């Protein structure tokens, strides 16, 4: 559900940039007081894990479409909503700048659609409601499923509204929404199952990580090294190898666009679009998670033979998974360290 710049107008893109920046600034302020130092490395590793997970598109049977894990609910449940939102913003920034996944003008839209609803709506209002009276595997499953589905439905509907408000007549509201919502319902069900599996595993290993994320605190004697190592290994395996098995079918957004407008891409050039496209072409050293000279070849293979294209054993994909995960880890961890340093300074001033 990564929107390209051509889907939105500069006004809508700018507005969503401001909204996202505001939520990010508020999140930084909130976690200055309650983020424990133990969660700084966890924030980085979780960012790398979700980055890798988003590389794997799974096919939606009978549709010719695919979807991928959003990961916002996992981030919120593990880190708390504020740190989770910042981790999602880090993931999407790395994807847009260095892999050309999602537009720069649409960055605010993408962060809001994938991060805001899960971290600040479905996590506190749905997921927490299911587990507040006591966590069990059944409650975790129910909370994850419903929160993931609702979060993705809200995000998909926002995509429709953002395109409509941008005046994209190629994607009329009634037709576009009838395509977007059902396909993202199917994607949301899969995301709910994956989310439940991940969170249940973490909960059984370290209950405190799920039970106390709202305060951002972990009990003093709790060690999370095993969880960090486990997630780091999972990120390497998923991004470096399992990403070869990603579906070559268009994702839910592209599929909906093709069904509505007959194309997966809208044409837009000149002005701010041209400037941002030029910037992105220079920064994206692994466009579409592949080496630059691999793009045309992979596209031709996927068009002529789906069987040859899957699994796509591609060194560019492996490098993208490993490098992208590492970059996300560093950026998310840097944000955490920055917040921690500000927190320490405040303590010294008030001491």
- Tell me, what's the pLDDT at 269? 75
* 39, 45, 48, 52: CA torsion to nearest 10: -120
Q: Which band of pLDDT confidence, cut at 50, 70 and 90, is reported for residue 1?
A: confident
Q: What is the longest distance spanned by two Cα atoms in the chain?
A: 68
As beta bridge partners, residue 67 has 58
H helices then E strands: how many in the chain? Answer: 15, 2
Distances (CA, A) of 330 to 80, 83, 210, 325: 19, 15, 23, 9
Give the number of domains in the chain.
1
Q: What pLDDT, on a 0 to 100 scale, did the predictor assign at position 219?
A: 47
- Domain range for 71 is 5-350
Which pLDDT score is estimated for 165?
A: 97
Residue 98, CA atoms < 13 Å, CB-side half-sphere = 18
Pure H helices in 206-251: 207-211, 225-240
Radius of gyration of the chain (CA): 20
Separation between Cα atoms, residue 106 and residue 96, nearest integer Å: 9
pLDDT at 32: 78
pLDDT(301) > 50: no
Omega within 30 of 0 (cis) for the link into 311: yes
pLDDT tens for each residue of 127-171: 999 988 788 889 999 999 999 999 999 999 999 999 999 999 999
Cα-Cα-Cα-Cα dihedral of 37, 42, 48, 51, to 10°?
-110
**Dihedral angle at the C-alpha atoms of 277, 84, 28, 51, nearest 10 degrees?**
-30
- Percent residues over pLDDT 90 in the chain: 64
Confidence (pLDDT) at 309: 56
Q: Please report, for the domain that includes residue 119, its CATH number.
A: 1.10.1760.20
Of 117-131, 208-222, 231-245, 318-332, where does mean pLDDT reach its minimum? 208-222
Q: What is the pLDDT of residue 324?
A: 94
Between CA 324 and CA 316 the distance in angstroms is 11
Please tell me the distance from the alpha carbon of residue 89 to that of residue 3, in angstroms, as a whole number. Answer: 14
Given a cut of 70, whether residue 304 has pLDDT beyond it is: no
When mean pLDDT is compared across 104-113, 174-183, 232-241, 264-273, the lowest value belongs to 264-273
pLDDT at 55: 92
Task: Give the pair of three-digit tokens for residue 44.
Answer: 């980085």
pLDDT above 80 for 223: no
More confident residue, 132 or 122: 122
Q: How far apart are CA 21 and CA 24, in angstroms?
A: 5
* Average pLDDT of the segment spanning 19-40: 83
Could you count the other beta carbons within 10 Å of the beta carbon of residue 220?
7
Task: Tell me the pLDDT tens digit for each residue of 307-341.
Answer: 445 667 778 889 999 999 999 999 988 888 888 77
| Token output for 288 | 């579409």
pLDDT band at 90 (very low <50, low <70, confident <90, very high): very high
């Amino acid at each position: 559900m990564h929107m390209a710049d051509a889907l939105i107008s500069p006004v809508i893109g700018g507005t969503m940039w401001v909204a996202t920046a505001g939520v990010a600034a508020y999140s930084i302020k909130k976690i200055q007081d309650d983020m424990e130092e133990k969660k700084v490395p966890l924030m980085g590793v979780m960012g790398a894990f979700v980055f890798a997970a988003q590389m794997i598109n799974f096919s939606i049977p009978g549709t010719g479409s695919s979807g991928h894990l959003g990961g916002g609910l996992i981030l919120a449940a593990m880190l708390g909503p504020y740190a989770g939102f910042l981790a999602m913003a880090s993931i999407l920034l790395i994807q847009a700048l260095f892999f050309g996944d999602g537009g720069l003008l649409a960055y605010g839209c993408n962060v809001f659609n994938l991060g805001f609803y899960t971290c600040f709506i479905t996590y506190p209002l749905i997921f927490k409601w299911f587990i507040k009276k006591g966590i069990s595997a059944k409650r975790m499953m129910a909370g994850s499923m419903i929160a993931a589905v609702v979060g993705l439905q809200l995000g998909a509907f926002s995509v429709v509204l953002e395109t409509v408000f941008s005046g994209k007549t190629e994607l009329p509201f009634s037709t576009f929404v009838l395509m977007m919502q059902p396909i993202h319902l199917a994607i949301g069900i899969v995301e709910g199952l994956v989310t439940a599996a991940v969170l249940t595993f973490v909960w059984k290993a370290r209950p405190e990580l799920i039970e106390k994320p709202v305060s951002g605190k972990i009990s003093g004697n709790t060690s999370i090294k095993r969880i960090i190592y486990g997630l780091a290994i999972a990120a390497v395996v998923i991004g470096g190898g399992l990403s070869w098995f990603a579906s070559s079918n268009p994702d839910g957004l592209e599929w909906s666009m093709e069904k509505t407008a007959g194309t997966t891409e809208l044409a837009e050039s000149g002005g701010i679009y041209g400037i941002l496209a030029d910037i992105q072409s220079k920064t994206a050293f692994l466009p579409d998670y592949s080496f630059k000279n691999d793009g045309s070849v992979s596209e031709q293979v996927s068009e002529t033979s789906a069987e040859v294209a899957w699994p796509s054993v591609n060194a560019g994909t492996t490098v993208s998974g490993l490098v992208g995960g590492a970059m996300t880890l560093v950026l998310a961890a840097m944000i955490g360290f920055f917040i921690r340093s500000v927190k320490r300074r405040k303590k010294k001033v008030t001491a």
